[in-house]
Amino acid sequence: MDPDTNSTTECEDWVYDYTYYKSTRAIDWDFVCGQRWMGAISQSAYMFGVFIGAVTLGALADKYGRKTIFYISAVAQLILSTSIAFVTNYYLFLVLSMLYGVFGSAGSYITAFVLAMELVGPSKRTVCGISFQAVFAIGIMLVAVWGFLITNHVTLQLVYGLHSLLLIGHWWLIDESPRWLWAQGRVAESVDIVARAVKLNGSPEIDKAHFVSVGKAKTRTAHGKSATIADMFKTPYLRQKTLNLSLNWFANSLAYYGLSLNTGSLEGNPYFVLFIMGLVELPSYFLTIVLLDKTGRRFLICSFMIIGSIACLATAVIPPDWSVMSLSVVFVGKFCIASSFAIIYNYSAELFPTVLRNTGLGFGSMCARCSATLTPLITLLDSFDKRVPTVVFASVSLISGILTMFLPETLDEPMPQSLQDGEVFGRGDTCFTTGCLPSLSKKKYETPKPV
C-alpha cells in the first residue's frame, strides 16, 4: 500500500522471515505477493489428484479387488513421494503432486480402509474404523515433528516419502476382502480366508464344504456384471442417500482442511500449532469410539458437525487480540470436525452395499477432495477479510449437519450386499420419523434385512 496515494502497488522486493522456516519451496520459488496463488494451486493440484483417484481407483477396487489396487497404489506412492523431493520445475511439481494424490490418499488410504472394514464384523466396525482415522492424526503430528527437526525441504520430503516403505510388506500380511470375493462369486476363496481367520482366533473350525455349497447357490443368481458409479443414482432412495452423504463428505473436508491449512495464520510456532491440531484429534477419536455404539452414527455425526460449525463461526467474532480464546475455540472446532470426518468413513461403508462400497467411498472422497481443492483458494479470501474463510467453512458444515438427520441409522445392522439391499436399507428411518437415538429408532423401525 502506497501511503502517499492510498493505492495498492505491486511488490518489487521482499525479505523472508526465517524464524521458523529455513528452506521451503515457497521461499525457493517466491510464492509471495503476486505469485501467492502458485502455492495455493500446488495444494489444489494434489487434491485434484485425490479427486481423480477416488473415482477411478475406487471403481477399479470394486472390479479387480481391494488388495490388488491397494498394493499398486502403495508402490506408486513410494516412488512418487520420494521422486517429488528432487523436482526443481514448478510445472513438473504440479504434475507429480497430482499423481501423488491419485495413488496416495485415494488409492492407498481409502482402499485400505474399505478392506479393513470388510474384514471385521458389526461389533468391531466402530473400533476398527475410528482407530484407522486416529493413525491419520498421528501422521499429522509426525509431519510437525519432522518439519521442526529437518530444516531442508528436500531432505524433509524424502523422509516423508520413505514412510511409504511401511506399506510394501502388506502384500504378504493381508488377505483379499472375503466380502468382495463372495460378492464376485469367488465363494471358495472367501470361505478359505474366513476359515483361516477362525483358526487363528482359536474358534472351532467351520464346515468349509457346507458354506461353499450354500454360498455358490446364493451367488449364482446374484452374481452378474459389476456395479458402476451410475448405479448409485438409478434408484430413488439409494440416490437420496448418496447425495446426502456426498454433501457430508464435501462439508467435512472443507471444514477439516480449512482449519488445518489456516493454522499458519494462528499465533505461535507453526510446528507446535500443527502438532497440537493433530494431538487434539486423538481424544476426539477416543470419545467417538466410546459414544458411537451408544448414540449411533446419525446422532453423533450430526451433533459434532453442528457444534463444530458453531465453534468455527465463533472465531469470526472473537477480537483479534484474544489469541488464546481464538486458538481454544479453533481447537474445539477441529475436535468436532475430526470426529465427524472419522464417522463419515464408517457411516458410508455401512450404508453402501458391498458391490458399490469402494466406489461409494471413492465418490464420497471425490466430493471431499473437490472441496479440499477449493480450500486453499477459499483461504485466499482472507485478503479481503480474515473472517470470510471461517464463515464459509462453518456455514457449509452447519447445513450438512442438519441434513444428516434424514439419513438412516446403521448401528448393529448387517452391511447391505446387493444393489437391492442398498435401495431398501434404512428406508423410512430419519430423525423425524423414528427419533435420532438408536434406542428410539429400534422401537419404531426395523431395518429391512439384506436380500
Cβ 180 vs Cβ 118: under 8 Å? yes
Average pLDDT over residues 93-110: 86
pTM, to two decimals: 0.74
- Higher confidence at residue 23 or residue 181? 181
Pick left, alpha or beta for residue 63 (phi over 0 → left; psi -120 to 50 → alpha; otherwise beta): alpha
Contact between 399 and 336 (Cβ < 8 Å): no
Kindly compute the dihedral angle of the four CA atoms of residues 290, 291, 293, 295, in this order, to the nearest 10 degrees. 170
C-alpha neighbours within 13 Å on the C-beta side of residue 99:
16
Between 6 and 443, the higher pLDDT residue: 6
C-alpha cell recorded at residue 92: 513438473
Task: Return the ∠ at Cα 186 (arms to 184 and 191), rounded to 5°.
Answer: 125
Q: 33-184+223-444 sits in which CATH class?
A: mainly alpha
Identify the bridge partners of residue 2 per DSSP, sorted by sequence position. 7
Q: 197 CB contacts (<8 Å, ≥6 apart)?
A: 119
Let me know the angle formed at the C-alpha of 442 by 438 and 445, rounded to the nearest 5 degrees: 120
Q: Give, for 299, the enclosing helix (H) or strand (E).
A: helix 297-315
- Proportion of the chain above pLDDT 70, given as a percent: 83
168-182 mean pLDDT = 86
Measured CA to CA in angstroms, residue 288 lies from 129, 284, 330 at distances of 11, 6, 19
Query: Residue range 415-427: average pLDDT?
Result: 89
What pLDDT does residue 184 have? 81
Q: d(Cα 130, Cα 46) in Å, to the nearest integer?
A: 25
Question: Average per-residue pLDDT in the chain?
Answer: 81
H or E segment to which residue 396 belongs = helix 388-403
Task: Enter the C-alpha cell of residue 306.
Answer: 453442528
* CA 299 remoteness from chain centre: 19
Give yes or no for residue 342 having a pLDDT over 70.
Answer: yes
Percent of all residues in the chain with a pLDDT value above 90, rounded to a whole number: 22
